[in-house]
Chain A
Amino acid sequence: MLHWFKRRIQKAKSYRSNDEWIRQLSAPPDEEAVAELRRILVRGLRPPLSRYVDRDLDSFVEDVTQDALLRILEKLDTFKGESAFVSWALKVAVRVGFTELRRKKWKDLSLDDLDGMSDDQEPGNKSHSDNIVTSFTAPDQQAHESMIMTKVMEIMEKELSEKQKMVIHALMIKGIPMTVLADQMKTSRNTIYKTVHDARVKLKKKMAEAGMDPDEILREL
């Protein structure tokens, strides 16, 4: 009888429904539920994070879990039951973890590095020859590619805002993640995505007006 009872209890704990999770984690949170969620987060975060972290994985996972738990408790009321609670919580935790990974990797980036990105005055970055097509292509192919490049650069120069140019430069040429750029620009990743989207829409329209078909260009490049 006692064994059966114990099993029932154990089962009930690992089979919390969404409503039970929410009730138990709402302030003041039930310690047992928090501890269980912590175990689930650590277990879930470890495998994907291990692919990106080569040192101190355990303490990194611990830190991320701690931050994620606070985050989850903070935004508990935004959970609308669209998935299992655990899936939602892991999603929040993964976002916290990857944001941290990207910040760590780019921690030495400063706003100064982003200055002047919209014009061509960046010193010591790319030598001029990088901008000319230098692969083993036939001369007329090369001329054709240079022409497309010049045309695209002209359209970008003329049609995009300074901010759009700076963002595209940072993301596509420097390879800075949106998460990090958003920090630097004191905005959100969502806003950066929207900025690039607006720029892409504009470029597509202007290229079409100039008789340039992106799909055709891709086949030719």
Chain B
Amino acid sequence: MPDSADLEPRVREILDAHSGVEGALLPILHAVQDAFGYVPEEALPLIAADQTLSKAEAYGVLTFYHDFRTRPAGRHVLKLCRAEACKAMGADRLHTQIRTKLGIDWHGTTADGRITLEPVFCLGLCANGPSAMIDGRVVGRLDTAKFDAIVGGLE
């Protein structure tokens, strides 16, 4: 949880950087999430006022998009592609194994706060599935051995 004393100046900085941008709400929400790891509830009234929206409208936008989180994620975010081309390469079976290994389901975070697991629908690596992304880094032809090697090295 960011200190609310730190929060406001940082959010204001982001809002200033986007002044004059047409349709700035998504870029602002991305920037806030990049800064804090999620979009803190306290940031929303500031953003809404800046964009001349009601808080409910800003909240409606925030919750429409799968990417934005309203709570912090684990230290690492693992996204596994659930879409068709990866399914054709056995993604479903692999995902069951991975969920069992991590002891969590989709959108869950491991008890030690290390990994949050998210589904994703296509990473554009569809000729090299099953595909994944770990903290923004792409991984192709994922299998349990590769998973163990990648996840084993994470703090």
Q: Are A and B part of the same complex?
A: no
Residue positions of A touching B, CB distance < 8 A: none
Residue positions of B touching A, CB distance < 8 A: none
